[in-house]
A and B are shown apart, each in its own frame.
Chain A
């Protein structure tokens, strides 16, 4: 079974700083998908960024980028120029590709609580 580990329960940085959240995962699959979701106090999970394992290029979405190291099974999230609105729980998630048994369900890590201080 796949597992996702986030080793940082909490992180705190000053506004405008850069912060990196760590995520490692375990799988025997060669192709899969990885995601970072943000969960503010409103509870709604919001997709931040996603990565397909067969793509070597790291995904980027504005201030958010990932460092995907397939051999090391590592998928970290970097937030540049952090803003107060980035304060939230961040979850790393894994998904098997379509048509593979057990596909379509997201396997989440335990989360990292990120606080951006003014």
Chain B
């Protein structure tokens, strides 16, 4: 079946601009996650949705970052007033969220954001 997809694959923008990054999770997966991966580093957690609501947004670095998932499927990560330090690969993952037990996250290919 189809995996997690992310668009665009690459995004180049200028400092101060607004960007939106989209994630389409695996069909039927109720949990969705956003991570940020800076060059040469492991991914860092940003936010996690259970259904339509953000269950944990403790990883969002500041109020310029915001994410939504209005219908419990597709999610959009929004970054306002972009800064050069926002340049990174933004990874999305989804999981089935079976009650209790091990829940494996499946990742998309990421969006490489470059802020000039």
Interface residues of A (CB under 8 A from B): 4, 33, 35, 37, 42-47, 50, 52, 91, 93, 98-99, 102, 104-111
Q: Whole-angstrom distance between the alpha carbons of A49 and B23 in the complex?
A: 24
Q: Whole-angstrom distance between the alpha carbons of A73 and B21 in the complex?
A: 36
Q: Which residues of B contact A35 (CB under 8 A)?
A: 104
Would A102 and B56 be within 8 Å (CB), given that A42-B109, A43-B89, A111-B41 are in contact? yes
Kindly state whether residue B1 has any CB partner on chain A within 8 Å: no
| A-contacting 9-mer, from B43-51, B61-69, B70-78 | B43-51
Q: Whole-angstrom distance between the alpha carbons of A93 and B37 in the complex?
A: 14
A88 to chain B, nearest CB (A): 13
Q: Whole-angstrom distance between the alpha carbons of A98 and B102 in the complex?
A: 8
A9 nearest in chain B by CB position: B40
Kindly state whether residue B31 has any CB partner on chain A within 8 Å: yes
Interface string of B93-109 (1 = CB under 8 A from A): 10100011111111111
Q: Which residues of A contact B35 (CB under 8 A)?
A: 106
Q: Whole-angstrom distance between the alpha carbons of A87 and B91 in the complex?
A: 21
Would A50 and B89 be within 8 Å (CB), given that A105-B45, A110-B42 are in contact? no
> Across the interface, do B45 and A33 meet the contact criterion of CB distance under 8 Å?
no
Number of interface residues of B (CB under 8 A): 31
Q: Which residues of B contact A45 (CB under 8 A)?
A: 43, 91, 93, 107
> Across the interface, do B103 and A105 meet the contact criterion of CB distance under 8 Å?
no
B106 to chain A, nearest CB (A): 7
7 interchain residue pairs of minimum CB distance: A108-B42, A45-B107, A105-B45, A44-B109, A43-B110, A108-B43, A91-B42
Q: Whole-angstrom distance between the alpha carbons of A106 and B109 in the complex?
A: 17
Q: Which residues of B contact A33 (CB under 8 A)?
A: 102
> Across the interface, do A104 and B102 meet the contact criterion of CB distance under 8 Å?
no
Q: Which residues of A contact B105 (CB under 8 A)?
A: 47, 106
Q: Which residues of A contact B43 (CB under 8 A)?
A: 45, 91, 106, 108
